[in-house]
Amino acid sequence: MKKVVIIGAGIAGLTCGIYAQRSGLETEILEMHTIAGGECTGWDRGDYHFDGCIHWLMGSSPDMDLHRIWRDTGALDDNVTIVNHESFMRYEAGGRVVELYTNADRLEQHLLEISPKDKSEIKKLCKAIRALGEFGIPIDKPMDMMTAGDGLRFAVKLVGKMGMMSRYSKMKMEELAALFKEPLIGRSMLASIPGDYAATALVVTLAGMHRGDSGFPIGGSRALAKRMEQKYLSLGGKVRYRTRVEKIVVKEGRAMGVKLSDGGEVHGDYVISCADGYHTLHHLLDNNYTPEIYNKLFSDTKAYPTPTCALVFMGINAEVGGHGRGVSIQREQPVNVGGMQSDFISLLSYGYDNTMSPKGKSVIAAFYNGNFDYWHALKDDKEAYRAAKQELIDDATEALVKYYPEAEGRIEKIDVVTPETYVRYCNAWRGSWMSWGSGSKDIPRYFPGLLDGLDGFIMAGMWTLPPGGLPGAATAGRFAAHRICIKEGIAFNA
């Protein structure tokens, strides 16, 4: 039986391990952290659970192809309740409100009431939201192995919709926002998805939600990762925690295994890296095999940005936030906090999931777009880093109490996440938790993960299926296992 060594027990690594085990391969996952999940995680503080990842899960609906991966891997099962929100986000500015409703008809009516003069753009947007709900990554085979027939089956789903898709994929969020004569509408969109993202990020997400997809699995991110870990172990997979891979061992152009930070080695017939893309190419492989396209994308962070964030989690001994996803509030004056100019503050609620806090208590997270360079420059100066975190806490708690006065004096737990947190826990390049999402034509839709001059190795994970996220990570993991099955001439058991 061929042995596959997998680096990283994030969603890509777990998915890869599960499909490989199901197909009769022997696998071992090596994970530097103490738990599975990678960036898909959450943690407890006293009575509270702070969920560090999922806001929406593409493929939560059984109608979506991706759902099959979540079912096969145990991420979702019959016991998991999915919450589908009525509103993607609420935006408030000086007493005026925009609700980005997830139902396109309701959204259209609401936006038309706010701004009749934007009728044409609102109609176009809502038409696209109604039409593009079926859009998703084709998962049946690694895309470079798809036949013309496979491609055609996928393309059929987009017949009559390509125009809409290409319109929004060619514009950035800031360009979409600028199309609306009523600035409130554009600002509500930018408060939901950053301006340098492709507009498809908003359109496709709302389209999924309109169709009943992209809900939230009760229990959240850590519970989802835990179910996948249990599935992997139940199939005979092995995972070693607190095990940091230092290098991929290469002999005569073939990956033979990995060298660990404790000096040990683990050998296998294949090595799959589901760790961060930059870390894999630049550190584990000493930059010896980096494809030109990755050199380009990693070297120009202005042209090819990747998202990161800072978060202030607050555990509150009062019921605040209701059952919606939360609210973005326009500030009276922009402030500079966390190295960014901030025009609004987003307070994310978790009241729809009673596993996050006991009855009568609540969790709210203040979300800030992140400036990696700012936090990175502070990281070795403990005092300055602590002060910058305190600045965020002050801003977040002030905003919380202003919006929810009942929270005053009732904040029991506070925890701050910065871009450096993702570096420390996940080796994430520039603290990124998605890959490239600007829609630039230079960004490949899919990278097969094969490197010139290196056999027996596949790079998987969100960096190979931009813009990444859980769908990209899981699909890349599945593709890697499938590719080995094809190479070995064994049946891929999906």
Ligand X SMILES: Cc1cc2nc3c(=O)[nH]c(=O)nc-3n(C[C@H](O)[C@H](O)[C@H](O)COP(=O)(O)OP(=O)(O)OC[C@H]3O[C@@H](n4cnc5c(N)ncnc54)[C@H](O)[C@@H]3O)c2cc1C
Q: Report the interface residues with ligand X, using CB under 6 A.
A: 7-13, 30-33, 38-40, 52-56, 58, 244-245, 274-276, 279, 309, 426-428, 433-434, 461-462, 468-471, 473
Taking residue 199's Cβ as centre, other Cβ atoms within 10 Å add up to 24
**Nearest alpha carbon to residue 286 among 317, 328, 247:** 247
Min CB(313)–ligand X separation in Å: 11
For residues 221 and 41, the answer to whether their CB atoms sit within 8 Å is yes
- Cα–Cα nearest to 13, from 222, 232, 217: 232
DSSP 8-state class, residue 282? I
Compare residues 362 and 464 and give the one whose CB is closer to ligand X. Answer: 464
Cβ-based neighbour number of residue 396 at 10 Å: 26
Beta carbon nearer to ligand X, 276 or 395: 276
Closest CA to 270 of 24, 23, 477, 456: 456
- Least distance from ligand X to the Cβ atom of residue 273, Å: 8
Q: 42 and 221 in contact (C-beta within 8 Å)?
A: yes
Tokens standing for residue 322: 């209701």
When the beta carbons of 317 and 328 are compared against ligand X, the nearer one is 328
367 forms bridges with which residues in the sheet?
Answer: 311, 346
How far apart (Å, rounded) are the C-alpha atoms in residues 314 and 411?
6
CB of 423: closest distance to ligand X in angstroms? Answer: 10
CB-nearer residue toward ligand X: 95 or 263:
263
Q: Which is nearer to ligand X, 180 or 463 (CB)?
A: 463
Question: What's the closest the beta carbon of residue 104 comes to ligand X, in angstroms?
Answer: 20
Can the peptide bond before residue 419 be classed as cis, meaning omega within 30 degrees of 0? Answer: no
**Cross-strand partners of 83:** 216
- Percentage helix, strand, coil for the chain under 3-state DSSP, each rounded to 5: 40, 25, 40
Three-state secondary structure along 394-456? HHHHHHHHHHCHHHCCCEEEEEEECHHHHHHHHCCHHHCCCCCCCCCCCCCCCCCCCECCEEC
Nearer to ligand X, 108 or 226 (CB): 226
> CB of residue 115 vs ligand X: minimum separation in angstroms?
28
Tell me how far, at minimum, the Cβ of 55 lies from ligand X, in Å. 4
Give the span between the Cα atoms of 234 and 196, in whole angstroms.
42
CB of 112 vs ligand X, minimal distance in Å: 29
Q: For residues 10 and 315, which CB has a smaller minimum distance to ligand X in the complex? A: 10
Nearer to ligand X, 93 or 356 (CB): 356
Give min distance, CB of 52 to ligand X, in A: 6
